[in-house]
């Protein structure tokens, strides 16, 4: 049975997701990395893909977007709500009135490994929705980089290759006519 390169990549991604789910079920207390459970990784920066040619692409190696935004969101979503109580507020020196106040004594999660399997699943679902949106706008705003081919300060704009374009090119080259 012969399958296309696109079908192969889709099946490979499904196998990876299923394997990660199996691994997390077998050892729910031991979470290696939250990133391993996600469908798509956060684009962190533009990088050179070839050290000898000006070919640039997007890198999903850990960066500020993951460490300062997405990872904290994955934990923050599970923080319990504040505690509320009835207090009083003064409406003048001798007229106290009822007033609802809150305490901010919440237990904040320090590590992803503190999440229950159910909480982890919610975090993964949330990130699987948010990351493609972030990546879309990152790629829209970083379509070109400045490159100096001579090293003398003569910069020129070079387009950044998206992985979807690269995959399309590979599919076109490997398809039989």
* 27 in a structural domain: no
Q: How far apart are CA 7 and CA 56, in angstroms?
A: 26
* 16 in a structural domain: no
* 22 in a structural domain: no
* 7 in a structural domain: no
Total count of domains within the chain: 1
Q: Is the model's pTM score more than 0.85?
A: no
Burial letters for 17-32: b for 16+ Cβ neighbours within 10 Å, e otherwise? beebeeebeeeeeebe
* 24 in a structural domain: no
* 97 in a structural domain: yes
* 118 in a structural domain: yes
Tell me which residue range forms the domain holding 106: 36-46+55-144+157-177
- Condensed to tens digits (0 to 9), the pLDDT of residues 105-163 reads 667 777 888 888 999 999 999 999 999 999 999 999 999 999 998 889 999 998 998 86
* 28 in a structural domain: no
Sign of the CA dihedral with 124 first, then 65, 45, and 61 last: negative
């Amino acid at each position: 049975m012969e399958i296309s390169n696109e079908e192969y990549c889709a099946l490979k991604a499904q196998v990876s997701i299923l394997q990660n789910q199996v691994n997390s079920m077998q050892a729910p207390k031991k979470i290696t990395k939250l990133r391993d459970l996600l469908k798509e990784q956060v684009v962190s920066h533009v990088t050179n893909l070839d050290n000898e040619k000006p070919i640039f692409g997007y890198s999903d190696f850990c960066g500020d977007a993951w460490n300062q935004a997405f990872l904290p969101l994955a934990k923050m979503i599970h923080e319990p709500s504040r505690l509320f109580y009835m207090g009083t507020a003064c409406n003048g020196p001798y007229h106290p009135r009822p007033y609802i106040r809150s305490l901010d004594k919440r237990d904040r999660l320090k590590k992803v490994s503190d999440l229950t399997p159910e909480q982890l699943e919610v975090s993964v679902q949330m990130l699987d929705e948010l990351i493609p949106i972030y990546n879309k706008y990152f790629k829209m705003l970083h379509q070109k980089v400045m490159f100096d081919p001579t090293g003398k300060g003569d910069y020129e704009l070079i387009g950044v290759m998206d992985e979807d374009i690269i995959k399309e090119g590979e599919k076109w080259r490997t398809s039989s006519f």
